[in-house]
Structure 1
Amino acid sequence: MDEHDTPDEQAVLRSTTALHGDDGDISRARRLAAGFLIRSQDEDGLPVSRPAVDLIRLVVTELVTDARKHAPGPATMELRITDGMMEIGVWDVDPVLPVARAADAGRLGQHGLEIVMAVAHSSEARRESAGKRVTVRIPLADDPGEALPGHRSL
């Protein structure tokens, strides 16, 4: 569900999605994030670059994959746009905070958090009363003039 904050507050576009721990969560989360960006551009005129969309899809994939892998069960993904940034928050039931492993070119897999930290403007992981939330911020426009093909740009 998308909502706008009251006029007295900073304009924030928001979408929250329940993830049920099934096999379709990852691809559904990617589609929802891309659709949210397209709607934000079409309906609100926000500039969104193609590289930003690709990075956001990658980050959503990694965060939701980690939630499924390390905390099977329910999770939520919250998308927020504010100050030219997409904030992606994924909550899951496991209270253990993720830790990036040391770089190792010979290691197969388990590079997701390293990748997320490398492409994010900022990231945070914190425990909550139940579980944890990992939040990542990605700039929406590398070049404000570069919009998604076929969509309006400012």
Structure 2
Amino acid sequence: MSETGITTDPWEYCLSIPNDPRAVTVSRRTLRLILTLHGLVRRADVAELLAAELVSNAVRHTKGPAALRVRWSAGVLRIGAWDADPAPPEPPVPLEQAVDLEEGRGLALVRACADLWGWQPLAREGNRGKVVWCELATA
């Protein structure tokens, strides 16, 4: 740990989640615990919002299992949601337009709040799929 209490060594967690809307709450609470234990509680509010949007999309738009992936390396927190659908996510609408939508704001919020975001195909445990991810720098 550094003098600020933030873990300097890289780490990674992966939480397998069922296709269940309650998984969003479990993911948020698990992420907050992880960040608190690693001295990153100052980033928890934004990180929880981003994780909730990513996991919610994975659960809402796919039928199979999903996973929350969290990685810390070189001062960057990467949050990702894996799902079993290999199709790319719908492009985010501009945040100004998303405010008036009842749904479909998730990736607009991710794009607005994260330092960087994207997606990539990713197989997990023999299942084809994708991971949608975002990054937050701690500095």
Q: Deviations over 1:77-96 (max 9, x none)?
A: 11111121211121101111
- Residues 84-142 of structure 1 deviation map (CA, whole Å, 9 limit, x = unaligned): 1211121101111111124424332211100001111111111234111111111235x
What residue is the counterpart of 1:5 in the other structure? none
Select which of 128, 137, 140 maps to 2:122. Answer: 128
CA distance in 1, matches of 2:41, 2:28: 16
* Residue 68 (structure 1) aligned with residue 62 (structure 2): no
In structure 2, distance between residues paired with 1:71 and 1:138: 26
Structure 1 pair 19/49, CA: closer, same or farther in 2 (3 Å)? closer
CA distance in 1, matches of 2:137, 2:54: 17
Alpha carbons 1:49, 1:140 under 8 Å: kept: no
- How many residues end up aligned between the 2 structures? 125
Q: What does residue 106 of structure 1 align with?
A: 100
Structure showing greater relative contact order (alpha-carbon pairs closer than 8 Å, 6 or more residues apart): 1
Structure showing greater Rg? 1
Q: Aligned AA for 1:100?
A: P
Q: 1:86 — aligned with what?
A: 77
RMSD: 1.8
CA contact (8 A) 1:85 1:140 kept: yes
Looking at structure 2, the residues matched to 116 and 106 of structure 1 have their Cα atoms a distance apart, in angstroms, of 16
Identity of aligned residues (%): 26
- Which residue does 1:44 correspond to in 2? none
Distance 1:107 1:80 in 2: 31
| Cα distance in 2, alignment partners of residues 86 and 29 from structure 1 | 16
Unaligned runs of 5+ in 1: 1-9, 42-47, 142-154
Mark the CA change 1:38 to 1:65 in structure 2 (over 3 Å): closer, same or farther. same
Which structure 2 residue ranges, 5 or more long, are not aligned?
1-7
Q: Read off the aligned partner of 1:132 and give its amino acid letter.
A: K
Question: Residue 16 of structure 1 contacts residue 79 of structure 1 at CA under 8 Å; is this kept in 2?
Answer: yes
